[in-house]
Chains A and B, each alone.
Chain A
């Protein structure tokens, strides 16, 4: 039970920590959004778990997978809004960005945190499991916090040297990875047909091991990705990068003309 709890933390809590750290560095001005979004996310998770049996019956038993997919696609779209906000020159128009970041954290808390509630709700009533689960929780939290501090320092360094676009790129890579991770949810309920495997790198870095877990969280690493996952990953990364790069060029030339 101890190891299971630690692994659960690495799989489901680490993505929350990573997103919070990236956004914390990306939007350094105000921090109220973070507190509010964590509270809102916790409340939404409880509501989601309370209704999960009902949601599970929707769309012929595909409700949970579809809802999780919708959460991921929403977080991805919110990341694009963050990028658009960054491309705007006027600081007065950027106040909404902290609420966008808050919504991203809340949605991630619902999609990842609900797994915790299920696990603890199911096993906490077993008297022999409490001690090892608590120990596993402390260990898991310790690992997540240590990695979060390392990532915080790295993201800070990147922001100082390369500017806010670098931290936005970190968010985009992370969110694209999560989006691609959610694609098999649609395949497993037969919503889309995309099982053909692109390659297997199980022998190099397996998803079962620590580095596999870490890389999966940071940039969506899959040892056996499907072709559809590879295509979605490349397009979801490159299209916004191309659009925002063009916007930046246009904005720079527009400002040059005015002067």
Chain B
């Protein structure tokens, strides 16, 4: 009886620990500016298999819609305002995004890379 109680308590503690870890795990934040219908930076490199937070500051006097088919994201950013979008975890690769109201100029790419591989390359 005691053994089964211990198993239940242990299992619960493990689940709680994993839940807390996921809650406490800091989500990396990336700042993007939108000015004159252009994204700065237009290329954002993020680590693979991790959720990250994009904070997009629209410095134009017109609204813009952040849109990406490959990322499945779609969010209006009001004029002179900011918006937050969570992306990932993603597989390594390139994911295009654009401003739906100005798709010719407002374009960018999220580049997803393995962090370890990048560190090894640097060495």
CB of A64 within 8 A of CB of B72, answer no
Give B57 Cβ to nearest chain A Cβ, in Å. Answer: 14
Residues on A with beta carbons closer than 8 Å to the beta carbon of B91: 197
Give B93 Cβ to nearest chain A Cβ, in Å. Answer: 10
Q: For chain B, residues 70 to 118, give those with C-beta under 8 angstroms from any C-beta of chain A.
A: 70, 72-76, 78-79, 84-91, 100-103
CB of A188 within 8 A of CB of B100, answer no
Give B118 Cβ to nearest chain A Cβ, in Å. Answer: 22
Is the C-beta of B62 less than 8 angstroms from some C-beta in chain A? yes
Q: For chain A, residues 178 to 216, give those with C-beta under 8 angstroms from any C-beta of chain B.
A: 184-185, 187-190, 193, 195-197, 202, 206-208, 212
Q: For chain A, residues 36 to 69, give those with C-beta under 8 angstroms from any C-beta of chain B.
A: 52-53, 56, 61, 64-65
Residues on B with beta carbons closer than 8 Å to the beta carbon of A176: none
- Taking a contact as CB atoms closer than 8 A, the residue among B73, B102, B103 that contacts A184 in the complex is B73
How many residue pairs link A and B with beta carbons under 8 A? The number is 69
Of the four ranges (under 10, 10 to 19, 20 to 34, 35 or more), the interface on chain B belongs to 20 to 34
Residues on A with beta carbons closer than 8 Å to the beta carbon of B27: 190
- Taking a contact as CB atoms closer than 8 A, the residue among A4, A185, A196 that contacts B101 in the complex is A4
Residues on A with beta carbons closer than 8 Å to the beta carbon of B85: 188-189
Residues on B with beta carbons closer than 8 Å to the beta carbon of A189: 84-86
Give B83 Cβ to nearest chain A Cβ, in Å. Answer: 8
Which of these binds chain B: A95-103, A162-170, A221-229, A246-254?
Answer: A221-229
CB of B103 within 8 A of CB of A195, answer no
- A115-B65, A223-B69 known; A7+B100 contact, CB < 8 A: yes
CB of A61 within 8 A of CB of B51, answer no
- Taking a contact as CB atoms closer than 8 A, the residue among A7, A123, A193, A202 that contacts B70 in the complex is A202
- A123-B101, A190-B86 known; A208+B78 contact, CB < 8 A: no
- Do most interface residues of chain A lie in helix, strand or loop, or is the interface mixed? helix
- Taking a contact as CB atoms closer than 8 A, the residue among B63, B69, B73, B90 that contacts A208 in the complex is B69
Bound complex: CA A46 to CA B90 (Å)? 37
Question: Which partner residue on chain B sits nearest A60 by CB separation?
Answer: B84
Give B63 Cβ to nearest chain A Cβ, in Å. Answer: 4
Question: Which partner residue on chain A sits nearest B61 by CB separation?
Answer: A122
- Taking a contact as CB atoms closer than 8 A, the residue among B63, B69, B103 that contacts A118 in the complex is B63
CB of B73 within 8 A of CB of A119, answer no
CB of B86 within 8 A of CB of A123, answer no
Bound complex: CA A207 to CA B100 (Å)? 14
Give A97 Cβ to nearest chain B Cβ, in Å. Answer: 32
Bound complex: CA A64 to CA B69 (Å)? 20
**0/1 string, A72-115, CB within 8 A of B gives 1:** 00000000000000000000000000000000000000000001
Is the C-beta of A27 less than 8 angstroms from some C-beta in chain B? no
CB of A122 within 8 A of CB of B70, answer no
Is the C-beta of A139 less than 8 angstroms from some C-beta in chain B? no
- A206-B69, A208-B69 known; A195+B88 contact, CB < 8 A: yes
CB of B76 within 8 A of CB of A64, answer yes
Give A150 Cβ to nearest chain B Cβ, in Å. Answer: 25
Question: Which partner residue on chain B sits nearest A61 by CB separation?
Answer: B84
Residues on A with beta carbons closer than 8 Å to the beta carbon of B103: 3-4, 7
Is the C-beta of A8 less than 8 angstroms from some C-beta in chain B? yes
Q: For chain A, residues 1 to 38, give those with C-beta under 8 angstroms from any C-beta of chain B.
A: 3-4, 7-8, 11
Q: Closest 5 interchain pairs by CB?
A: A184-B72, A207-B69, A122-B62, A190-B86, A122-B63
16 residue pairs from A and B, CB less than 8 Å apart: A4-B101, A52-B78, A65-B75, A115-B65, A119-B63, A122-B62, A122-B63, A184-B72, A184-B74, A188-B73, A189-B86, A190-B86, A193-B51, A195-B90, A212-B69, A226-B72
